[in-house]
Structure 1
Amino acid sequence: MLEGIKVIELATYIAAPGAGGILADWGAEVIKVEPLSGCPMRYTMANMGADHLKGSPIFDLDNRGKKGVALNTQTPEGVEAVKRLVKDADVFLTNVRPGGLERAGLDYDSLAKVNPRLIYSSVTGYGLQGPERDRPGFDIAAFYARSGIGWLQTVKGAEPTTLRTGIGDHTTSMATVSGILAAIIERGRTGKGRLVESSLLRTGIYAAGSDTAVQLKYGKLGSTKSRHESVTPINNFFKAKGDEWFVIVPRQGSVDWSAICRVIGQPELETDERFANPKGRRANSAELVDILDAAFITHDLDHWRVKLDAEDMIWAPLMRPGDVARDPQAVAAGAYVHVPNNGEEGTFLAPASPVRFPGADDGPKGPSPELGEHTMEVLASLDYSEAEIEQLKASRTIKA
């Protein structure tokens, strides 16, 4: 679908490369420019002490199907090479901090002079304006802690819990792709490129938008309660026999309260004065959760699956990632793809990009590149002479 779109990606870690990875899956030509030492995500397993594990699935997810170029952009020659790449590109995608880009002459104003049709996509921790625009920001800091999500996810009185790798980054990746595609549509009308700005902080605030909207409208917001203190106690996690947890999400009103009473075989609870209406259920939340816990622990999840489905309840099991990988529904939804190995035969299973286009080639176009794998090929396409390439080696802009 994006065949003919050329993207130059000057980025490391996850949020910006994740956006480039989605664009590559969808057919764009993405040229990834890395420092000579490589993106740190290449070495994730080793940095976690898992040297015995080959490769880095975290790097592969966000960089499959790209061409890899290794350049030292701290040299004038490296900056010039990026500008040559940008000259006929559609998109420049970067998460380098704004101040560094300005000093190098790779900021939006500089590259727009090189290519007025260029869509310049900036991904930062905290945005391009303000006193903290150059503050480094990973997703657990800028997306999770600073946006309010971390507070919202913490039960009142409990210690905060961490955010797993890349969740905020990949949410920002999806937001960034939407901005890039909107700018491509606009350019089709105007013929001009534009600056597209996304940040972990802004994306996090939007991701928590339902709660944030309440805070902004009323100036206050309830804290996250424990299971026994829930405002809507039937909107909760429950444990079945065998330590299998599941969540029930009731519709508004009391329709699903009646259904839950039937599910657990206690229809008399429906008219119990303690629980007969939402206000009563909230006031007697702890007592009601205890009753439901005692009921649900008596049978395994398969039993409750039949009962809950018969009532058309909204619910889901709390699944381990290993089980999700084998979930027939996840497979049917196209959630996994086979990615070719780099340098050897065969494929490995990886998460798919977040949107499916039935009938289109919307999957991986190849493996992630080795560090600098396509440097010489790309330089040749930019009409670098042998003498110029030798100069790049001499200036330590590329590896000899």
Structure 2
Amino acid sequence: MLLKGLKVVEFASYIAGPGAACILGDWGAEVIKVERPGGDSMRHVFADLKADLGSNPTFEFDNRGKRAIVLDIARPEGRDALARLAAQADVFLTNVRPASLKRSGLDDVTLRAANPRLVYAVITGYGLEGPDAHKPGFDVTAFWARSGVANMTAPKGMDPFMLRTGVGDHTTSLATVSAILAALYERAQTGVGRLVQTSLLATGVYTVGSDLAVQLRFGRLASNRRRDNPINAVANFYKSADGRWFIHNPRGGTADWPLFAQVAGRPDLVDDERFATGKDRRANAALLTVEFDQAFAALPFAEIAGRLDEADMVWAPVQTPAEVVADPQVAASGALVQVEDGQGGTFLSPAAPARFPGADIDRRPAAPTLGQHTREVLGEIGYGPAEIEAMFSAGAAG
């Protein structure tokens, strides 16, 4: 386990923060999840799912392998316990609003004064500075809408649509892990930790950075197009006779154009004057799409796939979630991991998106129940049995 011995205190809720802590935990770190009374909101967002099916996979995914404690930072005893945890940690990871943390004496300046080696990582919607730094943000607002991703994703003339659960959050989780590891590397040189911060907004901007680089350089950007009116008909989605979609992405230059026409069973298109040059194919991309639509609609998917592979084309099937989890290449890529179910069995869950040959994990512990490890963790940081019971009686721990 690459991060064995690294102690992470997670004081976060929802997805981006817990997701980052989960990745660190998957890679060997010890993660202590601190929740307020009532627990992480994600325990309850899909509570009906857990009631109906016996589990909450969305929460379990981001919280596997952690130890969970409950502290009420509205009470001095709870604040003191969280500060004591941070004093013994390598990383303090939070997405609680900075103003709230400062009022509670849990801000980065205070905690790093007590523990100069602490890497204090804070995730926000919009950053720590600027006129909107104080605003709350979710991935669908800060990452998806405000960063421009939603606008650039919807084809021209189409209404905006919602983002799937946690896409912007989990992208920000990856950014946060990167920032934490960079700060830990610096600490190895200097012996001193630092504040690091990520935001859903900045992650969204970076995610569409290739397009925004064009906007920044030239002051304008082409809109996304509908499938029936593409910029390049060779770079498009098509459907087989048996109703399966696939996408082809040509390499640079024009070498893939005649190969793709051959795959479609229409080599004659190469000599068609409407498509003779790259400029002609761009001007008549809608017409060329119609030709390819008709050609592929006459071929079964298996035959199309065989032809594309034989020609060494860059393509992929458009898979349903059920097809993804059954795809042997998904498993072979290390994209799934077994998680204990707490009843002696396991279930599959998405894995952290990196592999370390020779040090891969094949199983992770289950997500903790609310407050499952409170007494255990408080004892480890120096609280005696009587003190722990007093905290429970006062409502400062649970």
Shorter-chain TM-score above 0.5: yes
1:345-364 equivalent positions in 2, closer than 5 A? 345-364=344-363
Unaligned runs of 5+ in 1: none
Partners of 2:36 and 2:88 in 1: CA distance: 22
- AA aligned opposite 2:23: I
Partners of 1:108 and 1:170 in 2: CA distance: 23
Check whether the contact 2:23–2:177 (CA below 8 A) recurs between aligned residues.
yes
Indicate the residue corresponding to 1:58 in structure 2: 58
CA drift of 1:214 comes to 0.5
- Give per-residue Cα distances to partners, 1:183-233, cap 9 Å, x unaligned: 111100000000111111101100101101110011100111111221112
CA drift of 1:50 comes to 6.6
Partners of 1:363 and 1:371 in 2: CA distance: 25
CA drift of 1:44 comes to 3.3
Indicate the residue corresponding to 1:312 in structure 2: 312
Indicate the residue corresponding to 1:153 in structure 2: 153
Partners of 1:119 and 1:393 in 2: CA distance: 29
Indicate the residue corresponding to 1:382 in structure 2: 381
- AA aligned opposite 2:205: I
Matched pairs, number? 397
Indicate the residue corresponding to 1:164 in structure 2: 164
Indicate the residue corresponding to 1:12 in structure 2: 13
Matched, 1:397 2:385: no
CA drift of 1:45 comes to 2.8
- Give 3-state SS (helix, strand or coil) of 2:247's partner: strand
Partners of 1:264 and 1:389 in 2: CA distance: 71
1:81–1:364: structure 2 CA closer, same or farther, 3 Å change rule? farther
CA drift of 1:386 comes to 3.2
Check whether the contact 1:45–1:55 (CA below 8 A) recurs between aligned residues.
no
- Give per-residue Cα distances to partners, 1:347-386, cap 9 Å, x unaligned: 1111111101111044554111110000000011111123
Q: Which runs of 4+ in 1 moved over 4 A?
A: none
Indicate the residue corresponding to 2:73 in structure 1: 73
Partners of 2:75 and 2:50 in 1: CA distance: 34
Partners of 1:393 and 1:87 in 2: CA distance: 22
Partners of 1:310 and 1:331 in 2: CA distance: 24
Indicate the residue corresponding to 2:102 in structure 1: 102
1:133-152 equivalent positions in 2, closer than 5 A? 133-152=133-152
- AA aligned opposite 2:224: T
Check whether the contact 2:9–2:85 (CA below 8 A) recurs between aligned residues.
yes
Q: Percent identity?
A: 50
- Give 3-state SS (helix, strand or coil) of 2:258's partner: helix
CA drift of 1:106 comes to 0.9
- Give per-residue Cα distances to partners, 1:71-125, cap 9 Å, x unaligned: 1112121111011001111000000011111111111111111100000000111
- AA aligned opposite 1:80: D
Check whether the contact 2:266–2:295 (CA below 8 A) recurs between aligned residues.
no
Check whether the contact 2:337–2:364 (CA below 8 A) recurs between aligned residues.
no
Partners of 2:268 and 2:233 in 1: CA distance: 18
Matched, 1:84 2:84: yes
CA drift of 1:387 comes to 3.5
CA RMSD of aligned residues (A): 1.3
- AA aligned opposite 1:14: I
Check whether the contact 1:98–1:133 (CA below 8 A) recurs between aligned residues.
no
Check whether the contact 1:238–1:246 (CA below 8 A) recurs between aligned residues.
yes
Check whether the contact 1:71–1:398 (CA below 8 A) recurs between aligned residues.
yes
CA drift of 1:130 comes to 1.2
TM-score of the aligned structures, taking structure 2 as reference length: 0.97
CA drift of 1:391 comes to 3.2
CA drift of 1:264 comes to 1.7
- Give per-residue Cα distances to partners, 1:239-266, cap 9 Å, x unaligned: 1112211101011221111111111222
Check whether the contact 2:247–2:315 (CA below 8 A) recurs between aligned residues.
yes
- Give per-residue Cα distances to partners, 1:123-145, cap 9 Å, x unaligned: 11111111212211111111111
1:102–1:139: structure 2 CA closer, same or farther, 3 Å change rule? same
Check whether the contact 2:248–2:314 (CA below 8 A) recurs between aligned residues.
yes
- AA aligned opposite 2:365: G
- AA aligned opposite 2:74: Q
Check whether the contact 1:118–1:192 (CA below 8 A) recurs between aligned residues.
yes
Indicate the residue corresponding to 2:260 in structure 1: 260
Unaligned runs of 5+ in 2: none
Indicate the residue corresponding to 1:303 in structure 2: 303
- AA aligned opposite 2:36: P
Partners of 1:390 and 1:262 in 2: CA distance: 76
Partners of 1:276 and 1:149 in 2: CA distance: 35
Partners of 1:50 and 1:347 in 2: CA distance: 17
Matched, 1:43 2:44: yes
- Give 3-state SS (helix, strand or coil) of 1:51's partner: helix
Check whether the contact 1:11–1:17 (CA below 8 A) recurs between aligned residues.
yes
Matched, 1:126 2:113: no
Indicate the residue corresponding to 1:208 in structure 2: 208
Check whether the contact 1:35–1:73 (CA below 8 A) recurs between aligned residues.
yes
Partners of 1:267 and 1:354 in 2: CA distance: 40
Indicate the residue corresponding to 2:365 in structure 1: 366
Partners of 1:308 and 1:373 in 2: CA distance: 53
CA drift of 1:308 comes to 0.9
Check whether the contact 2:379–2:385 (CA below 8 A) recurs between aligned residues.
no
- AA aligned opposite 2:149: I
Partners of 1:383 and 1:72 in 2: CA distance: 18
CA drift of 1:35 comes to 1.1
- Give 3-state SS (helix, strand or coil) of 2:10's partner: strand
Partners of 1:289 and 1:365 in 2: CA distance: 47
Indicate the residue corresponding to 2:281 in structure 1: 281
1:169–1:364: structure 2 CA closer, same or farther, 3 Å change rule? farther
